[in-house]
Structure 1
């Protein structure tokens, strides 16, 4: 699709598709985003390929109508909760006779760091560099252009089960969509939504889905921890269904109707009415009762996350929290409740792009951001030197010195 980028995010409750591009001012432009209900995922694994394929087909058709061109390939987001992070160090000898570090040396060391002990039937899906070392000099952000004998990198290597990846790819294939590449959901989100000062000071990203809450902790540009809790928005729906003795579908509609997590005296006598999905008339519920059920469960879910952070020893490293994901992030009082639970500053993270400024689109839009960062190096390099497939032209290698204005995360993203 020329310079267009298509991303597909498959969760336990929906498939979300997004299409974007870089405009003439080098800014990300989200052209369209759409969702379709899906029940083909359980605990991050594909359990119903047909359900996913149907939803993907629906999403792709909508995106095609938006951009008025066919969509045949997309970048796929996968859950970080099913991945494993391994800290590793890779090192290579600098190849140039002048011992000046070139792009090729950077490629070589990033390939070297991928060599980690892996269980059978797993593969590397991402590498998050933390620090480069040139000879005895450490804490280097961008080593290109420096002189030394050895180049080393410390990084988090992200691996995922091959069976899980194949399951997702098969579902897209049945919808006639090829997979251009893989984006790990939380890594795409944090590069798009988390502020630089938040990462420097320590931040926990809480992605609340229907069945799983994924939490990732970042500090000083490093991933400190990743874990998941097998609870989410569906847990709240079940509570409503059991407590109010209503069918599950009606409980979901009641949850959507509720916008508060804290009782409001002005709404004390307010009642919520919905038409029952069963066709047996309407359901009339006291709003305060609904708020109490949902509010207490949300507090419990957040407390479970907090307890895990304390047990893992990361709570002290966190200065603030950012909540994204499904319907829980849309509750009016979520930041008040979360701040009360965590005792630290909390905000809801949302993409800033026109038409996609909603926390439920965070993962899908994060795909666009990640791919743009991967491709940005092409533009940076082409300003000063001739390149072919991002490799330095050998005739100019000894004459040209490449300079970069982008941050090292943006620079390195192309190599993964």
Structure 2
């Protein structure tokens, strides 16, 4: 088994890769990272496998160069646009004479959760244990060796759309990388951004990318919702282009230049010269004309997120809202608009993993941290020169073995 874990984040506008491992103190050590723009995805859906695989290959090569390893396999994210996460509870009675819970007992629960009835256009891509319960005592991570008469399992079953899953796997394989597993973005999104106390108190994480907005909701340290809407930062640029009749590139330039989402924050409502949509002549527009368009779209995105949360998991969220992703988070005024919509505290995400300084790597780094925390199998690499650690080789826990077998069952 390798201690090295590789995470590949396939987004609408970019692919990012992070290579990492757990060091001797149990912290994640980032060995390499790479990013590449991607034109093969529209609104979170792969529309060009060749273009997507090329971006994956390039991002992985950049990370390989830093880590001085050759990546053979990796974990890859799958958006909430393509998955449903169903909470499933099952149980088994302990039948042996000494009432000691065995590996076989846990295995039965895992496979039972992985064989629930689903629609024909879907497939189960992961089973994530929330907890085990022995004779009514909950919060148990690994029950093997404990004594009891009844063993219950509380699982999140991740169900993916077959076409989406196969297009992701095909894109990875075409890039020369075997898939270790598909990880629902909701499980990894908060790993590099949220504090444990925030997840416990209740928090709404809104990750706005180029073409989609991922909404992940956590309560009592558990993921309770992971949904996605096919609207993101690119739609803001498109709105500017249509409303002000100027080119898309000019619209993107203005959005990046002023980085405002609130007209009240405009200090100098000057006139600026822009190219008309036909590019045949220049014209003047006021800064406020552009910011009004941006403000309207940002407010709408947050409103859609609020409606989604209220419909699926209404309640109070003591830790408020956390904004992530480069689609909206960098815009000054986005926090105020989110506060106006949700009426709870709002903050902008800051990466909490060493050597990850920008939000664009957070999902990939989150995969590395998540896989390490769950003690799943590492990725396969060809080692050129890897930093040594004092970490002792640990025996594989049964739960890790069972989950490894479950992965082989699904893949």
Partner in structure 2 of residue 12 of structure 1: 12
Q: CA deviation at 1:127?
A: 2.6
Partner in structure 2 of residue 190 of structure 1: 190
Task: State how far apart, in whole Å, the 2-side matches of 1:280 and 1:411 are.
Answer: 65
Report the more deviating stretch, 232-241 or 187-196: 187-196
Partner in structure 1 of residue 181 of structure 2: 181
Deviation per CA, 1:137-173, whole angstroms, max 9, x where unpaired? 1433333443112211122211112322111111122
TM-score by length of 2: 0.84
Deviation per CA, 1:178-218, whole angstroms, max 9, x where unpaired? 21222111111134432222222222221212222222222
- Three-state SS of the structure 2 residue aligned to 1:17 is strand
Partner in structure 1 of residue 129 of structure 2: 129
Partner in structure 2 of residue 33 of structure 1: 33
Partner in structure 2 of residue 336 of structure 1: 336
Partner in structure 1 of residue 263 of structure 2: 263
Report the more deviating stretch, 357-366 or 89-98: 89-98
Partner in structure 1 of residue 21 of structure 2: 21
Report the more deviating stretch, 358-367 or 232-241: 358-367
Task: State how far apart, in whole Å, the 2-side matches of 1:295 and 1:269 are.
Answer: 15
Partner in structure 1 of residue 114 of structure 2: 114
TM-score by length of 1: 0.83
> Aligned in 2, Cα 1:213/1:164: closer, same or farther, shift over 3 Å?
same
Q: CA deviation at 1:252?
A: 1.8
Partner in structure 2 of residue 228 of structure 1: 228
Partner in structure 2 of residue 401 of structure 1: none
Partner in structure 2 of residue 140 of structure 1: 139
Task: State how far apart, in whole Å, the 2-side matches of 1:75 and 1:112 are.
Answer: 24
Instruction: Count how many residue pairs are aligned between Structure 1 and Structure 2.
Output: 392
* Contact residue 211 and residue 232 of structure 1 kept, 8 A: yes
1:306-317 matched pairs, under 5 angstroms? 306-312=306-312, 314-317=313-316
- Three-state SS of the structure 2 residue aligned to 1:39 is coil
Deviation per CA, 1:79-112, whole angstroms, max 9, x where unpaired? 1221112222222233654222345533432222
* Contact residue 200 and residue 220 of structure 2 kept, 8 A: yes
* Contact residue 208 and residue 232 of structure 1 kept, 8 A: yes
Deviation per CA, 1:287-323, whole angstroms, max 9, x where unpaired? 33322221221112111221333344x3324331122
* Contact residue 204 and residue 217 of structure 1 kept, 8 A: yes
Task: State how far apart, in whole Å, the 2-side matches of 1:129 and 1:144 are.
Answer: 14
Q: RMSD over aligned Cα, in angstroms?
A: 3.2
> Aligned in 2, Cα 1:275/1:362: closer, same or farther, shift over 3 Å?
farther
Partner in structure 1 of residue 385 of structure 2: none
> Aligned in 2, Cα 1:332/1:181: closer, same or farther, shift over 3 Å?
same
Task: State how far apart, in whole Å, the 2-side matches of 1:338 and 1:265 are.
Answer: 15
Whether 2:149 is the aligned partner of 1:149: answer yes
> Aligned in 2, Cα 1:120/1:54: closer, same or farther, shift over 3 Å?
same
Task: State how far apart, in whole Å, the 2-side matches of 1:89 and 1:265 are.
Answer: 50
Unpaired stretches in structure 2, ≥5 consecutive residues: 379-390
Whether 2:299 is the aligned partner of 1:318: answer no
Unpaired stretches in structure 1, ≥5 consecutive residues: 393-409
- Three-state SS of the structure 2 residue aligned to 1:224 is strand
Report the more deviating stretch, 27-36 or 89-98: 89-98
> Aligned in 2, Cα 1:265/1:391: closer, same or farther, shift over 3 Å?
closer
Task: State how far apart, in whole Å, the 2-side matches of 1:3 and 1:225 are.
Answer: 30
1:74-113 matched pairs, under 5 angstroms? 74-94=74-94, 97-113=97-113
Whether 2:61 is the aligned partner of 1:61: answer yes
